[in-house]
Structure 1
Amino acid sequence: MAGTGSLHDLMRHYDQHLARLEDLRALLHEQLAAATRLRDARAARRRTAAVEEALERMDRGCYGTCLRCGALIPFEQLRRRPQRRRCDGCTETGQGRHEAA
């Protein structure tokens, strides 16, 4: 029964992961609502599109993966900017500097 503890640990980590995803989904919906209230229509469309793309990636199961290097984006980075598409490392290299992180 040595594997039972490991299975329980895996399930606990999985449950934590799902809870974090739900927290991030809630943040994205808050940002979507805030974007619709922006006075600058162009900025509102850009921000709305970025948030909707993040929600779509979440639904497809590829949310939280850097589009440049393929690494998982740390939760703390996603908490700061849940619609981000790149990790801090790839954003700092200048790749996609004009593109939303």
Structure 2
Amino acid sequence: MADIRSVNTLMQDYQRHVAQLERLRALLQERLGAAEAEFDRLGERLLANEPTTSRRALVERARRARVTVVKMRAAIVRMDRGLYGTCRRCGTFIPLDQLLRAPHIQECATCRNAHVDRVAV
């Protein structure tokens, strides 16, 4: 039978976890808003055919902004499903400091580095 102290400790751990998820959700939503605004701004510049900027560079920046928006939205969906914070490739937990730096990246460092190595070969 579990003692009261262990149940209390579990509840405290759970409350800390919920607070961290709320913090990460707010961070994701804030960064998603910024990424969407950047994507919209770049789209407007592309439509305006600005002569001073290399169109190829502008298209690449817009593509990267769109990828970021998609990753942010996917991370929020994973959070809603209870999967956020685990690597989508191997299932291990992603360290909190990594999630705070890049909340939209849903792969652990090992899997991300392995993927980069495979692409580079």
- Give the TM bin, normalised by the shorter chain: 0.7 to 0.9
Match of 2:77 among 56, 79, 82: 56
Match of 1:41 in 2: 62
Number of positions where the alignment pairs a residue of Structure 1 with one of Structure 2 = 97
Higher helix residue share: 2
Q: CA RMSD in A?
A: 2.0
**Structure 1: any 5+ residue segments left out of the alignment?**
none
Q: In the aligned structure 1, how far is the partner of 2:105 from the partner of 2:62?
A: 21
For each residue in 1:1-21, what CA deviation from the matched residue of structure 2 results, as whole angstroms up to 9, or x when unmatched? 861000000000000000000
Q: Show the 5 A alignment for 1:1-101.
A: 3-38=3-38, 39=42, 40-92=61-113, 94-95=114-115, 97=116
Give the TM-score taking structure 2 as reference length: 0.73
> Once superposed, which parts of structure 1, at least 4 consecutive aligned residues long, lie more than 3 Å away?
none
Higher relative contact order (CA 8 A, sep 6+): 2
Name whichever of 17-26 and 36-45 sits farther off. Answer: 36-45
- Structure 2 distance, partners of 1:44, 1:90, is 23
Runs (5+) with no aligned partner, structure 2? 43-60
Answer yes or no: is the 8 Å Cα contact 1:37–1:44 preserved in 2: no
Asked if structure 2 preserves the Cα contact closer than 8 Å seen for 1:54 and 1:83, the reply is yes
Which is higher, the Rg of structure 1 or of structure 2?
2
Amino acid at match of 1:59: D
Equivalent-residue separation in structure 1 for 2:25 and 2:4 (angstroms): 31
Percent identity reads: 45
